[in-house]
A = this chain, B = another copy of it.
Amino acid sequence: MVFQEKLTFATHGRGTISITDAIRQQVHLSGITTGLCHVFLQHTSASLLFCENADPDVRTDLERYMARLVADGDPIFEHTAEGPDDMSAHIRTMLSGSDLTLPVSNGQCDLGVWQGVYLWEHRTSGHRRSLTVTVSGE
Contact = CB atoms under 8 A, between A and B. Distances in A.
B35 A36 contact: no
Given A42-B110, A43-B112, A90 B62 contact: yes
Interface residues of A, number: 61
Nearest to A35: B2
A115 interface: yes
Stoichiometry (number of copies): 3
A113 B100 CA distance: 20
A87 interface: yes
A101 B103 contact: no
Contacts of A42: 110-113, 115
A115 B43 contact: yes
A114 B58 CA distance: 31
A61 B34 contact: no
Interface string A110-133: 111111000000000000001010
